């Protein structure tokens, strides 16, 4: 298999959260207003909160949980803390506070139920130790692992809990359902590369898993990571006015993430594979929640694994952190295929997020309604688009029928109907333009904001009117109009404070964990400015070692500053002395092209080892330092330096709720 791409995870942004929480000034946070309280009370009337079936299922089969309040790495650092969300457990989980949407509060309570659970004889799950679950299936001789969580430390803890409380057996197989780090990052906590090669432990993954594991995160990684700091509430306190849940789980563990290359690839629906005496039937779902993904059925246990295609929440067609738009229609059809093939056979439905569902009739009903959730969004978005409606209009118009909307597993805990309809529109028509020529050639934000403020009578008048709108509970409008004032004059403290107050109320009203996090983080940064803690590492050493050199050279190309590169015409050969591999860089027309071959008559040459490159990528050293210490040999260093000097360094803590470069 070609090793073209590998993962650089934006999820590691959450490593900043422990540092941030120690520096937060929470004194400016407000209580919920009457309008927010009334809005949240409407949710209480809309849904049947007396239905405790989810709580029964989430607790079913509980065996034990981690004996301590924290899971630590080998150096004593906290990888996971069960204490962070203890506030969700007080008062018997009776009622949500005014500052949290009742539906999100309920979801947060459910996701706080953690430990080792027996799903059925032969299947066990560890839940609530990470964003996702780790599942263990009993084979003839040992345990077959399904997904491995984000970090080695969590995978090790889950396995230890299983061995202590169920049966101490070796790992005899690994299945990873798709190409997101919270499903494979813990691999080396369970198996090593030697285990896979010498013991021939099957490591099964979907077609293109290895290459897709990074495709959407490398080149755009800096911006995605910064936006992820908003989406996952990494800078917020964990309390009733801050982060209560990530929507898909409590959050992401902070530790060592790893990857291994699969030795068995599933390429098509219907493939059957026997692992340690247990038969698995696979159903491909590429292009749904992940570019590389499958679901599977285990006949022995009459159990179906829905991967991240079937969840107890509406998922994202487009994530708020930024990623390629997913296909809602394909998503729906994949669930339908699972329903048609296995709906009458399945008695247990489990997945790498949330808790299982039991009972063939209940499962079939859930699959039908979850399928129709995505199909309804898709079809109604296209129906309205074909009537000439714009994305903003469609997002307000699409409302689920009660038969879908009142099912808790279809609610907006992670994705939302509002932003998913916009994403579906994006897939067919593009996101940046709604077809109206008035929006075809708009002014950039700062320039437009200054003109808006002038046309609207100046900052003071806008602030006076915005305050009146705030007092009416018109928070969306307050945020929209004050954004113009802030971008016209980021020093207007009153505008920022009022906008923050409005964002905060929108956060308190949000059913979606990511929406809540976005609004509350925006409010926090408007009040306090950007809390610049050390920038997160988005590369783990294990992943850097597998990063294809060609991908890294592509990444260098997006760092080229065209003004600095203007007029340069240089060819640089790059020779890896330990790999017997050669590459080259050609800088011309302010564009950097790269090749896996040498150029004739180069203007400079670099001789280095792969380890030296790894040290540079990890940030432990720089090219210039390595040249100075003679660890890297350079011919015509002046020309090499010219190429290096045109590369921009990306600042992580760029502004989001204020204009940049002020």
438-528 and 560-645 in the same fold: no
Q: Tell me which long-range contacts 21-24 makes (C-beta under 8 A, separation of at least 24).
A: 21/237, 21/238, 23/531, 23/533, 24/235, 24/236, 24/237, 24/524, 24/528, 24/531
User: Helix, strand or coil for residue 360?
Assistant: helix
**Tokens standing for residue 520:** 């509350």
> In terms of C-beta density within 10 A (0-12 exposed, 13-18 middle, 19 or more buried), how is residue 430 classed?
exposed
Domain definitions of the chain by residue range:
438-528, 560-645
pLDDT value of position 628: 84
* Overall fold of domain 560-645: Nonspecific Lipid-transfer Protein; Chain A (3.30.1050)
Those residues whose C-beta lies under 8 Å from the C-beta of residue 82, and which sit 6 or more positions away, are 65, 66, 69, 70, 114, 128
Strands 604-608 and 570-576: parallel
Cα 415 to Cα 462: distance, rounded to the nearest angstrom: 33
Cα 322 to Cα 181: distance, rounded to the nearest angstrom: 16
What architecture does CATH give domain 438-528?
Answer: Alpha Horseshoe (1.25)
pLDDT value of position 662: 47
Cα 383 to Cα 394: distance, rounded to the nearest angstrom: 10
pLDDT value of position 14: 54
CA angle, residues 526, 532, 538, in degrees to nearest 5: 120
- Beta-carbon neighbour count of residue 388 at 10 Å? 9
Q: What is the pLDDT of residues 276-323, one digit of tens each?
A: 999 999 999 999 999 999 999 999 999 999 999 999 999 999 999 988
The reported pTM is 0.94
Q: Tell me which long-range contacts 64-67 makes (C-beta under 8 A, separation of at least 24).
A: 64/115, 64/116, 64/161, 64/164, 64/165, 65/114, 65/115, 65/116, 65/128, 65/161, 66/114, 66/115, 66/129, 66/157, 66/161
Cα 414 to Cα 245: distance, rounded to the nearest angstrom: 10
Q: What is the pLDDT of residues 569-613, one digit of tens each?
A: 999 999 999 998 999 999 999 999 999 999 999 999 999 999 999
Q: What is the pLDDT of residues 616-636, one digit of tens each?
A: 888 888 888 888 888 899 999
Strands 294-298 and 278-284: antiparallel
Q: What is the pLDDT of residues 64-74, one digit of tens each?
A: 999 999 999 99
Contact 157, 128 (CB under 8 A): no
Q: What is the pLDDT of residues 477-519, one digit of tens each?
A: 999 999 999 999 999 999 999 999 999 999 999 999 999 999 9
Cα 241 to Cα 248: distance, rounded to the nearest angstrom: 19
Low-confidence ranges of the chain (pLDDT < 50): 1-9, 19, 662
pLDDT value of position 15: 53
pLDDT value of position 212: 79
- Which residues, listed in sequence order, are joined to residue 135 by a DSSP beta bridge? 125, 146
pLDDT value of position 126: 98
User: Helix, strand or coil for residue 31?
Assistant: coil
Cα 254 to Cα 73: distance, rounded to the nearest angstrom: 9
Cα 609 to Cα 628: distance, rounded to the nearest angstrom: 15
- Which residues, listed in sequence order, are joined to residue 584 by a DSSP beta bridge? 573, 595
CA angle, residues 348, 349, 354, in degrees to nearest 5: 130
**Tokens standing for residue 287:** 């292009």
Cα 498 to Cα 169: distance, rounded to the nearest angstrom: 59
Cα 277 to Cα 233: distance, rounded to the nearest angstrom: 43
pLDDT value of position 617: 83
pLDDT value of position 3: 35
pLDDT value of position 221: 80
pLDDT value of position 624: 84
């Amino acid at each position: 298999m070609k090793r073209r791409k590998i993962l650089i995870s934006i999820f590691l942004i959450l490593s900043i959260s422990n540092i941030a929480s120690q520096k937060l000034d929470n004194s400016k946070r407000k209580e919920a207003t009457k309008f927010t309280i009334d809005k949240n009370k409407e949710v209480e009337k809309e849904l049947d909160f007396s239905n405790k079936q989810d709580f029964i299922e989430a607790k079913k089969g509980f065996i034990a949980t981690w004996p301590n309040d924290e899971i630590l790495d080998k150096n004593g650092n906290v990888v996971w803390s069960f204490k962070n969300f203890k506030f969700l457990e007080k008062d018997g989980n009776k009622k949500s506070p005014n500052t949290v949407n009742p539906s999100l509060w309920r979801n947060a309570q459910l996701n706080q139920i953690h430990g080792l659970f027996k799903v059925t004889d032969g299947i066990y799950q560890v839940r609530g130790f990470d964003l996702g679950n780790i599942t263990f299936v009993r084979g003839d001789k040992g345990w077959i692992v399904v997904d491995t969580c984000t970090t080695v430390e969590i995978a090790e803890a889950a396995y230890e809990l299983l061995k202590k409380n169920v049966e101490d057996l070796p790992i005899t197989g690994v299945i990873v359902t798709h190409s997101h780090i919270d499903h494979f990052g813990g691999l080396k906590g369970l198996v090593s590369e030697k285990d896979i090669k010498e013991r021939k432990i099957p490591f099964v993954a979907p077609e293109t898993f290895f290459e897709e594991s990074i495709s959407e995160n490398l080149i755009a990684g800096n911006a995605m990571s910064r936006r992820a700091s908003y989406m996952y509430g990494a800078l917020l306190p964990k309390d009733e006015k801050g982060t209560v849940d990530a929507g898909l789980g409590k959050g992401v563990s902070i530790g060592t993430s790893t990857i291994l290359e699969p030795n068995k690839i599933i390429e098509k629906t219907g493939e059957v594979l026997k692992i340690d005496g247990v038969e698995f039937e696979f159903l491909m779902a590429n292009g749904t929640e992940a570019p590389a993904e499958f679901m599977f059925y285990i006949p022995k246990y009459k159990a179906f694994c829905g991967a991240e295609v079937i969840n107890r929440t509406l998922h994202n067609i487009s994530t708020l952190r930024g990623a390629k738009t997913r296909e809602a229609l394909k998503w729906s059809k994949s669930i339908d295929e699972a329903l048609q093939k296995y709906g009458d056979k399945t008695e247990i439905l489990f997945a790498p997020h949330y808790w299982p569902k039991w009972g063939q009739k209940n499962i079939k009903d859930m699959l039908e309604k979850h399928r129709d959730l995505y199909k309804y969004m898709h079809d109604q978005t296209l129906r309205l688009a074909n009537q000439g409606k714009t994305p903003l209009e469609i997002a307000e118009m699409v409302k689920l029928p009660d038969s879908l909307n009142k099912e808790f597993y279809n609610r907006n805990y992670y994705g939302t109907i509002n932003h998913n309809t916009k994403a579906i529109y994006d897939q067919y028509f593009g996101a940046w333009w709604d077809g109206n020529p008035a929006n075809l050639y708009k002014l950039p934000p700062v320039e437009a904001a200054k003109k808006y403020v002038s046309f609207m009578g100046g900052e003071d008048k806008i602030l006076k009117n915005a305050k009146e709108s705030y007092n009416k509970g018109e928070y969306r409008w307050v945020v929209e109009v004050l954004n113009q004032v802030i971008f016209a004059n980021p020093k207007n403290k009153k505008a920022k404070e009022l906008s923050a107050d409005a964002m905060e109320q929108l956060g308190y009203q949000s059913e979606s964990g990511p929406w809540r996090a976005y609004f509350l983080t925006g409010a926090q940064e408007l009040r306090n400015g950007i809390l610049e803690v050390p920038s997160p590492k988005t590369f783990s050493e294990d992943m850097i070692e597998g990063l294809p050199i060609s991908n890294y050279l592509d990444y260098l190309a997006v760092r080229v500053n065209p003004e600095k590169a203007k007029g340069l015409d240089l060819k640089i050969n790059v020779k890896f002395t330990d790999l017997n591999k050669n590459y080259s860089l050609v800088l011309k027309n302010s564009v950097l092209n790269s090749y896996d071959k040498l150029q004739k008559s180069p203007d400079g040459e670099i001789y280095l080892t792969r380890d030296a490159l790894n040290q540079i990528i990890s940030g432990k050293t720089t090219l210039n330092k390595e040249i100075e210490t003679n660890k890297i040999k350079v011919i015509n260093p002046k020309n090499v330096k010219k190429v290096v000097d045109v590369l921009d360094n990306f600042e992580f803590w760029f502004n989001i709720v204020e204009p940049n470069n002020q």
